[in-house]
């Protein structure tokens, strides 16, 4: 550059430049540029990680851990705590992640020290609060850990807790749980696992699981007198109830060898049981009762109706055969009739054993059903469970009870109509008197018809009657065993028990055998007559004359078996 009247040109100083000849003045290097030499025609772009200094005459390297800061005298400043510098440095710093922090001017973030934490990005580590701790500094610490039960920490920023010498779950042995129900932790203690409970691992009172085959009674349903000991109830059918390993049942149920309890599922829905049901006893929709305690999938609607129709046909055929055979032998005491009577009594008694809570082989269960279909009028052939619209098993059970309670009257009415029409067709009036003492009248056949069907129906009437009184106490409440969702001795059950239960007990269970006994005793001198043998020979014809009452003894035996099958399981506990 030169001035007016100058004899020579002057060099541009460092930090300035002249881009062309004849320039009167030198230009200063702009932002981000510098020039360390004289007589320069341009400035140099500053490199990354450097700043301009000396009024544009030099470039200075920014230290790592710093950021470029135009407001600072040096042109850069250290990154604040909680951040780290870029490499190469620029105008910003990188925030440390939550759980980490740094000192000012740091090039890297580090996990918080023991006893500290940082829950925000770009923050600094803080001391853990009272009764919390952090015992490591190898990983990020976004929070502190609360001191476990039985431990404390009165100071801030600690890496450990101090023991209060309380019992903890770790203090308990296998098959023990921590009883932490007391509001005073100093009173907590290890207790033996309650019967039916699984205390494997670290378990406190609220986390004691049931064993396989057991059901945990909800807290609000437990008996206040035994709330700490009577926590679990044994299920009627062990595989229905999922739970912990049960070594006592592995031989009978190999699946008991593995933990089967799942979250929010305590009942085996794969076997057809409803998940939320008491003792896992209620069958799920689409399933019917199999035996006394199991469930079986319902057939299709068409298949189910087909089975019902087939069952009705078979039932009618069986009744027709037995009634026809009884009428054919009316007034005669043949050896074949006696053998048939003995066999019928045997089948009725044996069939009743199917109600016992034993693990019968499937072949034997089928045999029970077949024997029951031949010897007893019941649900062996016709079962409406899969077509019912009842909302509960108890509602369906009460409907069946009402039907069977009315059955004797229905049998009398239908039999009368059949034999009245028969008499009209044969021109033998139902009300005609007997012409010959050895004649079998239409009325005789009607009586044989009624007594035979009632004889076949009697075991079912007994079973149904006692079933209304069969309740199972679970916790503090008794429930109807046929439907454990139905409370006993109150509401609907109380009404049905008094009307149907007591009524059938008096009229059928006690009344029918008593009437037969009184009638036979009153007419014991004329039991040899044709009219007595024709009408009532079913009850005494196969026995000696002085043992006319023996059918009552056999009936008492049947009633005893029914009572034992219904009430026996509870009496044995």
User: Which residue, 253, 278, 296, sits at the end of a domain?
Assistant: 296
- The reply to whether 272 and 402 lie within a common domain is no
Query: Which residues, listed in sequence order, are joined to residue 477 by a DSSP beta bridge?
Result: 474
User: Which residue, 253, 277, 296, sits at the end of a domain?
Assistant: 296
- The reply to whether 223 and 245 lie within a common domain is yes
**pLDDT digit string, tens, across residues 313-364:** 766 776 676 666 666 665 555 555 556 666 666 666 666 666 666 666 666 6
* Six-digit token string for 366: 């089928």
- The reply to whether 304 and 292 lie within a common domain is no
Please say whether the beta carbons of 131 and 147 come within 8 A: yes
Q: How many whole angstroms separate alpha carbon 539 and alpha carbon 455?
A: 9
- The reply to whether 185 and 333 lie within a common domain is no
Is there a domain that residue 538 lies in?
yes
**pLDDT digit string, tens, across residues 458-498:** 888 888 888 899 898 898 899 998 889 999 999 999 999 99
Is there a domain that residue 22 lies in?
no
User: Which residue, 165, 194, 229, sits at the end of a domain?
Assistant: 165
- The reply to whether 469 and 566 lie within a common domain is yes
For residue 215, what pLDDT is reported? 92
Q: CB within 8 A of 15, min separation 6: which ones? A: 28, 29, 34, 35, 54, 55, 56, 57
**pLDDT digit string, tens, across residues 538-559:** 777 777 778 888 888 888 888 8
- Number of helical H runs and strand E runs in the chain: 10, 28
Is there a domain that residue 38 lies in?
no
- Can you tell me the mean pLDDT for 419-425? 85
Is there a domain that residue 556 lies in?
yes
- The reply to whether 284 and 304 lie within a common domain is no
- The reply to whether 347 and 395 lie within a common domain is yes
Is there a domain that residue 10 lies in?
no
**pLDDT digit string, tens, across residues 358-397:** 666 666 666 666 655 555 555 555 566 777 666 688 888 8
* 3 state SS of 395: helix
Residue in 303, 337, 175 with CA at minimum distance from that of residue 245? 175
For residue 363, what pLDDT is reported? 67
Is there a domain that residue 29 lies in?
no
Residue 146 has pLDDT above 60, yes or no: yes
Residue 224 has pLDDT above 70, yes or no: yes
Quickly list H helices, 167-300. none
Q: CB within 8 A of 570, min separation 6: which ones? A: 472
Residue 4 has pLDDT above 60, yes or no: no
- Mean pLDDT across the chain, nearest whole number? 82
For residue 366, what pLDDT is reported? 65
For residue 479, what pLDDT is reported? 92
For residue 188, what pLDDT is reported? 87
- The reply to whether 214 and 158 lie within a common domain is no
Question: What are all long-range contacts of 209-212, with beta carbons under 8 Å and residues at least 24 apart?
Answer: 209/243, 209/244, 209/261, 210/241, 210/243, 210/244, 210/261, 210/266, 211/243, 211/244, 211/245, 211/246, 212/238, 212/241, 212/242, 212/243, 212/244, 212/245, 212/246, 212/249, 212/253, 212/255, 212/256, 212/260
For residue 279, what pLDDT is reported? 92
Say what the pTM is: 0.65
**pLDDT digit string, tens, across residues 57-73:** 888 888 888 888 888 87
Q: How many domains does the chain have?
A: 3
**pLDDT digit string, tens, across residues 273-297:** 998 889 999 888 888 888 778 888 8
- The reply to whether 475 and 540 lie within a common domain is yes
Q: How many whole angstroms separate alpha carbon 340 and alpha carbon 459?
A: 18
- The reply to whether 248 and 116 lie within a common domain is no
Give, rounded to a whole angstrom, the gap between the first and last alpha carbons of the chain: 119
Is there a domain that residue 5 lies in?
no
Is there a domain that residue 333 lies in?
yes
Looking at residue 487, what DSSP letter applies? B
518 is in which domain, residue-wise?
Answer: 300-571
- Can you tell me the mean pLDDT for 84-89? 89
- The reply to whether 233 and 321 lie within a common domain is no
- The reply to whether 256 and 341 lie within a common domain is no
């Amino acid at each position: 550059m030169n001035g007016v009247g100058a004899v020579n040109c002057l060099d541009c100083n460092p930090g300035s430049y002249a881009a062309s000849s004849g320039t009167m003045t030198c230009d200063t290097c702009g932002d981000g540029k510098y020039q360390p030499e004289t007589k320069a025609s341009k400035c140099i772009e500053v490199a990354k990680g450097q700043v301009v200094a000396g009024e544009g005459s030099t470039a200075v390297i920014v230290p790592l851990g710093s950021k470029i800061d135009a407001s600072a005298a040096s042109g850069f400043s250290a990154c604040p705590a909680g951040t780290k510098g870029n490499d190469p440095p620029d105008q910003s710093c990188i925030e440390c992640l939550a759980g980490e922090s740094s000192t000012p001017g740091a090039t890297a973030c580090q996990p918080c020290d023991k006893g500290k934490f940082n829950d925000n990005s770009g923050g600094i580590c803080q001391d853990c609060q009272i009764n919390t701790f952090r015992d490591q500094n190898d990983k990020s610490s976004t929070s502190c850990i609360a001191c476990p039960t039985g431990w404390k920490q009165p100071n801030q920023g600690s890496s450990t807790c101090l023991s209060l010498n309380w019992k903890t779950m770790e203090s308990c042995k296998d098959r023990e749980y921590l009883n932490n129900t007391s509001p005073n932790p100093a009173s907590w203690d290890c207790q033996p696992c309650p019967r039916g409970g699984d205390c494997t691992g670290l378990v406190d009172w609220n986390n004691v699981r049931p064993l396989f085959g057991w059901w945990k009674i909800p807290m609000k349903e437990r008996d206040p007198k035994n709330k700490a000991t009577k926590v679990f109830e044994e299920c009627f059918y062990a595989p229905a109830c999922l739970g912990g390993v049960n070594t006592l049942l592995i031989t009978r149920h190999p699946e008991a060898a593995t933990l089967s309890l799942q979250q929010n599922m305590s009942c085996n829905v794969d076997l057809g049981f409803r998940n939320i049901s008491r003792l896992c006893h209620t069958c799920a929709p689409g399933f019917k009762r199999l035996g006394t305690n199991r469930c079986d999938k319902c057939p299709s609607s068409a298949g189910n109706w087909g089975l019902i129709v087939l069952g009705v046909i078979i039932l009618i055929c069986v009744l027709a055969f037995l009634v026809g055979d009884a009428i054919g032998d009316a007034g005669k005491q043949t050896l074949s009739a006696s053998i048939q009577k003995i066999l019928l009594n045997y089948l009725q008694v044996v069939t009743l054993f199917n109600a016992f809570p034993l693990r019968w082989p499937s072949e034997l269960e089928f045999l029970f059903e077949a024997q029951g279909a031949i010897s007893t009028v019941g649900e062996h052939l016709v079962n409406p469970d899969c077509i019912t619209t009842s909302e509960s098993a108890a509602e369906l059970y009460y409907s069946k009870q009402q039907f069977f309670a009315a059955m004797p009257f229905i049998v009398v009415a239908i039999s009368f109509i059949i034999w009245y029409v028969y008499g009209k067709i044969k021109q033998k009036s139902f009300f005609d008197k007997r012409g010959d003492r050895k004649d079998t009248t239409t009325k005789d056949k009607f009586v044989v018809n009624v007594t035979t069907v009632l004889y076949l129906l009697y075991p079912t009437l007994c079973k149904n009657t006692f079933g209304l009184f069969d309740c199972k106490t679970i916790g503090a409440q008794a429930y109807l065993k046929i439907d454990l969702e139905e409370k006993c001795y109150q509401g609907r059950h109380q009404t049905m028990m008094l009307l149907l239960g007591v009524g059938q007990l008096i009229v059928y269970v006690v009344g029918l055998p008593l009437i037969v006994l009184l009638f036979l005793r009153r007419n014991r001198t004329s039991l040899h007559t044709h009219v007595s043998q024709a009408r009532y020979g079913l009850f005494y014809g196969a026995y000696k004359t002085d043992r006319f009452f023996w059918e009552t003894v056999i009936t008492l035996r049947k009633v005893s078996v029914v009572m034992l099958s219904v009430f026996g399981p509870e009496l044995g506990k």
